[in-house]
Chain A
Amino acid sequence: MNMFKDAGHLFRVAVVFGVIGLAFLGIRVLLVPKSFGQYGHYRGNAMTEMAARPVNFAGHQACEDCHADVLEKKKSGKHVHVNCEACHGPLAKHVDDPGSVTPAKLDTAVLCVRCHEANIAKPKGFPQVASVDHSSGVPCDTCHQPHSPVIDGGEK
């Protein structure tokens, strides 16, 4: 058979290609993370890593476990559905260590106007004031209690 007279050359080339192919597969196994392709064309462990991030906002449930008195006060007022951290800010550190990390006292003159300053685009039914006309800079908690803001005996 003349055709296969020089088959030895072909065999050597095949061996070289085979070795390169094996090296590629070997390196690929080493470099591709274990969880790649677990759920799709991405690294499955990426989700576990993202889920492991610590939280900054503890969630209102954590606040209510200890501060039942404030919850009771809020129940009678318009702010009943406003979560604690909406005003007090993120306090997961306070939940973890209530003794040494204490929330800062809030400045109601700044805080209340974030929501209640009059704005053309706010829903019409939402209580809004032009703070300069309303109180000329006097802190809101001089008259209103933030946890239940209606003034006793006053207009609602």
Chain B
Amino acid sequence: MSITRRHMLLILPAAAIAWKYVLAGAPDAAPNYKMSEHWWGMLIDLPNCIGCGNCVRACQVENDVPDEYFRTWVERYHVSDYDIENPQVDSPDGGKKGFPSGKAEGGKNFFVPKLCNHCADSPCTQVCPVGATFISPDGVVLVDKTYCLGCRYCVQACPYGCRFINPKTSTAEKCTLCYHRITKGLTTACCEACPTGARQLADLKNPNDPIHEFLKTHDVQVLKPYMATHAKVFYNDLDGSVR
């Protein structure tokens, strides 16, 4: 049987699809780092947070975050004794330069550092029309800035307000959990700069990570659990008024 034009029409598309997989080749992974062995998250030990803003400054330096935009920031809550459902929250310049001393008005006062929650079921990655944002196999929500169109769907989808459009590149940007550091065996810049240990990087797949013991023995919550995002930033001793 000779190959007719009709046969060629059938064979060529199939060959084109197969060629794509030939080109894909083997992944050039970072040396000594296996994505399948990690599942990253973070622990925020709120009773240790002193609102110094070291994490905000460190993040800005480490990741070239433009002024007045934040991948992490610190909020100060004032929960009045008489209106516990409506706390007053301030965060001057993201807490980068610290906080004014504040007046003693009673009630409950505390700091809450915020960052991307690296949700295991992230609303932001689901809405991306071009596959520019994704959950990496090691559990970090990342943005591929060469693919991002800057359409802002993800900025709207994030229930925690953790994304922004970088004014220089016009692409979506967010906390990468210092992906360039954790793949080299370092902790994140914010954890490195935190003087009190209020922020701790956690590898949920590592059985020796202290996070497991901590989760068992402390009153730990995530933000907005009713959103069912399966957030992986765990807050110890979180007040019910925090949103």
Contact = CB atoms under 8 A, between A and B. Distances in A.
B98 interface: yes
B132 A42 contact: yes
Given A25-B17, A85-B192, A114 B179 contact: no
Contacts of B61: 56-57, 89-90
- The secondary-structure label for the interface of chain A is loop
A54 B63 CA distance: 10
Interface in A52-78: 52-57, 59-60
Contacts of B103: 120
Interface in B117-166: 131-137, 142, 144, 146-147
Contacts of B131: 36, 41-43
Best-surrounded residue of A18, A41, A57 (most CB of chain B within 10 A): A57
A16 B109 CA distance: 72
A4 interface: no
B27 A38 contact: yes
Interface residues of B, number: 66
A25 B109 contact: no
A51 B142 contact: no
Interface in A13-64: 15, 18, 21-22, 25-26, 29, 32, 34-48, 50-57, 59-60
A121 B99 contact: yes
Given A42-B132, A46-B146, A86-B194, A120 B180 contact: no
A121 B109 contact: yes
Nearest to B191: A83
Contacts of A40: 134-135
A86 B195 contact: yes
A138 interface: no
Contacts of B24: 34-35, 37-38
B144 A115 contact: no
Interface of A: 15, 18, 21-22, 25-26, 29, 32, 34-48, 50-57, 59-60, 79, 81-83, 85-87, 89-90, 114-115, 117-123, 126, 130
27 contacts: A21-B13, A36-B131, A40-B134, A43-B147, A45-B27, A48-B27, A48-B29, A50-B142, A51-B180, A53-B179, A55-B62, A55-B184, A59-B181, A59-B187, A85-B192, A86-B193, A87-B195, A90-B62, A114-B52, A114-B54, A117-B98, A119-B98, A120-B103, A120-B109, A122-B50, A123-B50, A130-B101
Interface of B: 9, 12-13, 16-17, 19-20, 23-25, 27-30, 33, 35, 47-54, 58, 61-62, 76-78, 98-104, 109-111, 131-137, 142, 144, 146-147, 176, 179-181, 183-184, 186-187, 189, 192-197
